[in-house]
Amino acid sequence: MKMCEIKQQHFLRTHCTENDTCQQTHKAEGEVNAHQFPYRILINKLKNKLPKILRTLYRRYSCSGIRLPLYVKVFFFSQLAAQVLDDLDDEDIGFGLVDEKKGSVVAKKLGLEEADSIYIFTENEIIEYDGELAADTIVEFIYDVLEDPVEIIENDSEVKGFHNIEEDIKLVGYFKSEKSEHYLAYVDAAEEFHPHIKFFATFTPKVAKDLGLKVNEVDFYEPFIDEPIVIPGKPYTEEELVEYIEDHDRPTLRKMEPDNMYEIWEDDIDGEHIIAFAEEDDPDGFEFLEILKEVAEEHNDNPNLSIVWIDPDDFPLLVPYWEKTFGIDLGSPQIGVVDVEDADSVWMEIDNDDDLPSADELEEWIEDVLSDEIDPDDDDDDDDDDDDDDDDDDDDDDDDDDDDDE
């Protein structure tokens, strides 16, 4: 099936027509209109390499803030859609492209608020995909969307599996049955955050005892934190659960993943992020990550502290960009504070020849960041001072010239 046929039959047939609202989605062979892309011959020659080339270019341009031409975006998303649909061949899923200008009315009607974004429509929800524009990542995310929003825990092995999930926010509740009104409220709340937050439930008394749960009680787990928080006020309504989760959805330590990279980057604190780079499979990286977890456990009650952990192995194409932008070597663990607007940054001095910083040393550095004693904006002030000094020097030179003339 061609993508344009799938779009016509499934995705947008009840909302709009191709003639007035949607960009025509082309086949994966590299066919584009000549007026949209003047290098048609070159594209056909490179068609087998295009997905990788486009993905690399799109990532780099997106990160640099350069605005890409419309024809590049259309062709990129067409190629991306072709790859995704190929991997989802057995699923009843279609792709559609909405023109930002021509389809503005349709976009507003569908609740599409941000251009250059991917939205997934399910039976009850519109889910914005805010991650890496790579086919394998999007396919994995869509499969997560297709899963039930609440996973049921029934035995000891599933309890172990639950405890092995440490990189995500997760909730678990104990209810009398699937027909319980409190369980149904829990499911409704789960649908609001699916698949970004993991929801679990059990109806088994033994499992509930192992998890330390009482009837109609829900525990909230932060990433990398062993001890849960019991959500107060049971039994809960859907609105109460949603409100609590929204108030606690910025963990003390969170991992940037390919499927949430833009979502996390946009969730800054006062325009800044504390960023930690560490390779989990590297001995030094693993040790540094354990120190970060210890610090997070000690300070998980501080709403102003949120450390973003990035494993460079997850983003190989961005490593050169980050190293150049931040002036660091990602071959070893790093932690710094970054201004999200201009990418100014200050990094903790970690001597590769010495031991990694202790938890106490890391805490002291973080406290200096939170108190603004360490601030990436200070570099801007220094630059301004340098400019003022240069101006003063120029004035002095002018005065000297005047004296010489006299």
Instruction: Indicate whether 21 pLDDT > 50.
Output: no
Q: Give yes or no for residue 297 having a pLDDT over 80.
A: yes
Rounded (10°) CA dihedral 211, 214, 215, 219: -60
Residue listed under structure tokens 């040790």: 287
Burial of 61 (0-12, 13-18, 19+ CB in 10 A): middle
**What does the pLDDT average to over 77-106?**
70
Q: Name which residue leads in pLDDT, 295 or 129.
A: 295
Does pLDDT of 137 surpass 50?
yes
- Across the range 3-29, mean pLDDT stands at 33
What percent of the chain lies above the pLDDT cut of 70?
Answer: 69
Neighbour tally for 263: CB within 10 Å: 15
| Per-residue pLDDT band at 135 (split at 50, 70, 90) | confident
pLDDT at residue number 42:
37
Residue 62 in this model has a pLDDT that exceeds 90: no
Residue 50 has pLDDT above 90, yes or no: no
Give the pair of three-digit tokens for residue 203: 């109806």
Rounded-to-integer distance, Cα 153 and Cα 160, Å? 10
- DSSP-assigned beta bridge partners for residue 202: 174
pLDDT class for 123, splitting at 50, 70, 90? confident
Q: Give me the mean pLDDT over the 3-23 stretch.
A: 32
Mean pLDDT, rounded, of the chain? 78
Say whether pLDDT at 61 is over 80.
no
Establish how many alpha carbons lie within 13 A of residue 92's alpha carbon, considering only the half-sphere containing its beta carbon: 4
Split at pLDDT 50, 70, 90, the class of 87 is low
| pLDDT for 183 beyond 90 | yes
Query: Mean pLDDT throughout 300-309?
Result: 93
Q: What pLDDT, on the 0 to 100 scale, is given for residue 391?
A: 54
Q: Specify whether the CB–CB gap between 307 and 254 falls below 8 A.
A: yes
Encode pLDDT of 357-397 as tens digits.
999 999 999 999 999 999 998 765 555 555 555 555 555 55
- pLDDT tens by residue, 222-275: 999 999 999 999 999 999 999 999 999 999 999 999 999 988 988 999 999 999
Contacts of 94 (CB under 8 A, 6+ apart): 3, 6, 7, 9, 10, 11, 12, 85
What local confidence, expressed as pLDDT, does residue 159 receive? 97
Q: Per-residue pLDDT tens for 312-364? A: 999 998 999 999 999 999 999 999 999 998 899 999 998 765 689 999 999 99
In this prediction, residue 73 carries a pLDDT of 54
Question: Going from the N-terminus, what domains does the chain have, and what CATH number goes with each?
Answer: 3-146 (3.40.30), 150-247 (3.40.30.10), 253-375 (3.40.30.10)
